[in-house]
Structure 1
């Protein structure tokens, strides 16, 4: 009986472990990707790689994901010019682990999505424990990690983004026909990002959810951005840019950032338990029915800004939507110049600054914030607690 039990245990162990495919070239990777099964691993050998472009379209399972990993964490290093996605992940239950992207120069191509990693129409896939440092792009609004297509429940976590320049680090794409749902961006560190050189000082967000707040801001992506650290992120005025609806921003930490957590568009987002220390701003709000609660702010010019718009509500089209029906509660503000500003960008004139044929909007920001509930906030050692 004991021999039988031991034999069965050995068989179980053998079945539970998948195969490992060690690769050194895109060709070897593609061959492995074509045959991997749930529980298998593709191991990228330690070394430096240039000109790499590979894709995987396979399906693991919740208990047996397909693993793509560095032989040793941080020792499989991708660098040099990039003219198409270094790694494109479709399929489901695929995990990318321990890769490093250092000094890559991404060049925009007409017919290719040029990113370092893209989860494209993927489901339950993950990019974890990867490093992205000193990477650059040659065109505005290019991300280095993208979540796109009609996917769901993908995750970017425990990665480090440092010293990247002129790019967006993580982008969740929201299109007219496709949106990736329930993306989780958590426990990452974003740091030491210099200001972009692009016109309008635009296109250098660390995290961007949605790209067209005017026409597509009503689309719900249900993205969660939580437990991340943003240190000296100065790429542009929006460290995080929300341009879709139904998203959550929870327990993120911002230190000495030249930018804000911005509800640029969209509605019904939760901004809860985030911390801001130093820098140029805290939270900026346009749109409707956002909940801003339990956040802490210290040493800022303005902690929370509720903005004017060109339109109001969810039905009207406006380049900016006035902040309305939002809840601003139980926030702690100290050592700021202004605690809560009700009425940012009053009567700002945008004439000639956007295409009114594409965006049929008035150009004057003259609709004041309205019907917002501001209560239970603790404001101390601040010159002007609430400015209206």
Structure 2
């Protein structure tokens, strides 16, 4: 175990390095050394994983930092084989973890529980089983107030959502920020369960999650019709760039979500989609949708609803504001009212829909995110 401390005169130490007072930097080369360091870790400490790559390891970390002094675990090694990471913590930063060329039989590649944790500059790449039907999640968030930023998720080709927010814990849940991440090259699935991002489930869809999904880049994510699957209430999706994805940003369950200032470009994919809406009280504002296919029959699709629906069915669309959206050269209709009417007992048309200021020409006024703007290699603000 190696330690690094400020080398300063005692009377200058607290004035110049208050955040490092009593903090340690520990370098570990084995899973056993990591567990020992985690048991001894104090708020403000930094644990660095160094040396050769780690294969077939199941890491379980229980750590507790503070808002002023989080505990940081940085990885300079890659994880392969059947490796996975399970964190239960408060004010913990996971920095630079890479999982590549491995697979699991079930579970989660990275699972985060607790509160106020951050996952940053991490990569999961090609972590696929031999069979497309083997289901596990690449990253799962439980608890509340986590942040996932500047991560890259690439090359998933099996069943299981890439990033999931779960709301079935007791007590406070949600309020996560998912931002500046790069999702790419998610190949076509063979049914449901191939979403790139999902917040909630049908069973918990009436819970308020209050998550923010902002300034992420989605490229060639073709898993299923629901590229993003919203299954909870009060979430915000803003300033994301979606390019050439064979699916739609879908408000599948839940109410009172905001979808604003997203740039959605079909990029020649005839299976691409725009925004699909189910539920009440949503706002679809200032989005630019151009060149998408007819996967959902139009650029913005308001679904038909089921009378007295169960949690897993389509509720009637009501009280939705659609304002200031730019819709250019999309297949199908611009705005579909009653998508799926007549199928699976869906007989209720949308009610009280306000549509204002739809634009049909013009270049995107929104920033198109590029790979250098997001992911582990981007310059962080």
TM-score class normalised by the smaller sequence: 0.7 to 0.9
Q: Which residue of 2 aligns with 1:92?
A: 90
Q: Secondary structure at the match of 1:69?
A: strand
In the other structure, the counterpart of 1:345 is: 340
Name the residue aligned to 1:352: none
Equivalences for residues 60-99 of structure 1 within 5 A:
60-71=65-76, 76-82=77-83, 86-99=84-97
Q: Would you say the 8 A contact 1:179–1:221 is kept in 2?
A: no
Question: Of 253, 278, 283, which aligns to 1:291?
Answer: 283
Query: Residue 197 of structure 2 contacts residue 227 of structure 2 at CA under 8 Å; is this kept in 1?
Result: yes
Q: Which of 224, 228, 250 lines up with 1:236 in the alignment?
A: 224
**Corresponding residue number in structure 2 for 1:355:** none
After TM superposition, give the deviation of residue 46 of structure 1 in Å.
3.7
Residue deviations 1:42-74, cap 9 Å, x none? Answer: 111142211211222221122211010023xxx
1:245-283 superposed Cα distances (whole Å, 9 cap, x missing partner) = 111101110000000000110000010100111141110
Q: Match for residue 41 of structure 1?
A: 46
Correspondence 1:303 to 2:299: yes
Query: Does the aligned pair in 2 maintain the 1:299–1:334 contact within 8 Å?
Result: yes
CA distance in structure 2 between the aligned counterparts of 1:172 and 1:88, rounded to whole angstroms: 15
- TM-score, normalised to structure 2's length? 0.85
Aligned mate of 1:10, from 9, 13, 29 = 13
Distance apart, 1:140 and its partner CA: 5.5
Distance 2:164 2:149 in 1: 14
Alignment-derived partner of residue 106 in structure 1: 104
Number of aligned residues: 341
How far, CA to CA, are the matches of 1:193 and 1:119 in structure 2?
22
Is 1:277 paired with 2:265?
yes
The equivalent of 1:321 in structure 2 is: 315
The Cα offsets for residues 109-164 of structure 1, whole Å up to 9 and x where unpaired, read as: xxxxx2121111x111000001111012565652111101xx22101110011111
Alignment of 1:164-243 (within 5 A): 164-166=156-158, 167-175=160-168, 177=170, 180-197=173-190, 201-212=191-202, 215-243=203-231
Deviation at 1:318, TM superposition (A): 6.2
SS of structure 1 residue aligned to 2:213:
strand
Alignment of 1:246-285 (within 5 A): 246-278=234-266, 279=269, 280-285=272-277
Q: Is the 8 A contact 1:205 1:241 kept in 2?
A: yes
| Deviation at residue 25 of structure 1 after TM alignment | 2.2
Distance 1:32 1:12, change over 3 A: farther
Q: Which consecutive residues of structure 1, in runs of 5 or more, have no partner in the other structure?
A: 109-113, 350-363, 382-388
Distance of aligned partners of 1:50 and 1:318 in 2 relative to their CA distance in 1, 3 Å threshold:
closer
Between the two structures, name the one with larger relative contact order (CA 8 Å, sep ≥ 6): 2
> Is 2:235–2:258's contact at 8 Å kept on the other side of the alignment?
yes
Task: Output the CA distance in 1 between the equivalents of 2:311 and 2:54.
Answer: 47
Q: What SS does the corresponding residue of 1:64 show, helix, strand or coil? A: coil
1:332 counterpart residue number: 326
1:356 alignment counterpart: none
CA distance in structure 2 between the partners assigned to 1:316 and 1:371 by the alignment: 22
Counterparts of 1:80 and 1:251, CA distance in 2:
36
Q: Is the 8 A contact 2:165 2:174 kept in 1?
A: no
Aligned-residue offset at 1:311? 3.0
Where does residue 376 of structure 2 map in the other structure?
A: none
In the alignment, what sits opposite 1:358?
Answer: none
Q: What RMSD in Å do the two structures reach over aligned CA positions?
A: 2.0
**Cα distance between partner residues in 2 of 1:316 and 1:191:** 34
Residues 316-364 of structure 1: CA deviation (Å, up to 9, x unaligned):
7561112111111110111113211111001013xxxxxxxxxxxxxx1
Say whether the 8 Å CA contact 2:105–2:134 is kept in structure 1.
no
Alpha-carbon shift at residue 180 of structure 1 (Å): 2.4
Query: What TM-score do you get using the length of structure 1 for normalisation?
Result: 0.83
Q: Which runs of 5+ in 2 are unaligned?
A: 1-7, 363-381
Give how far 1:177 is off.
Answer: 4.1
Which of 115, 129, 146 is matched with 1:154 structurally?
146
SS for the counterpart of 1:33 is helix
